[in-house]
Amino acid sequence: MVKVTISTALNNNSYILFITDTGTGIANENISKIFDPFFTTKEVGKGTGFGLSICYGIIQNMEGQFTLKASLAKVSPFM
């Protein structure tokens, strides 16, 4: 079972949302693709792969920043 943890902070009038998980992670060669619409590492028919693309667009529309720290051991998006 993968555990997802969400926490928040306020820093200099900016809200920070931290999202971490205990998943298996993502290979380095895929990190540059994770915000591409419909990118997925799943086999055909097993996932649409557009969740992070939508999140990234929402954050950009709000003039926010999206920072990602990832490894093959785990992925930790920080918004």
Longest dimension (CA), the chain: 44
With bands split at pLDDT 50, 70 and 90, how would you rate the model's confidence at 17?
Answer: confident
In the β-sheet with 67-70, what is the strand arrangement from edge to edge?
4-11, 14-21, 75-78, 67-70
Q: HEC string of 41-64?
A: CCCCCCCCCCHHHHHHHHHHHCCC
Quick: pLDDT tens for 18-75. Answer: 888 888 778 888 888 888 888 888 887 777 776 788 888 898 899 888 888 776 654 4
Mean pLDDT computed over every residue of the chain: 81
CATH number of 4-78: 3.30.565.10
Give pLDDT, residue 1. 85
Amino acid at 43: E
In the chain, domain spans: 4-78
In this prediction the pTM is: 0.63
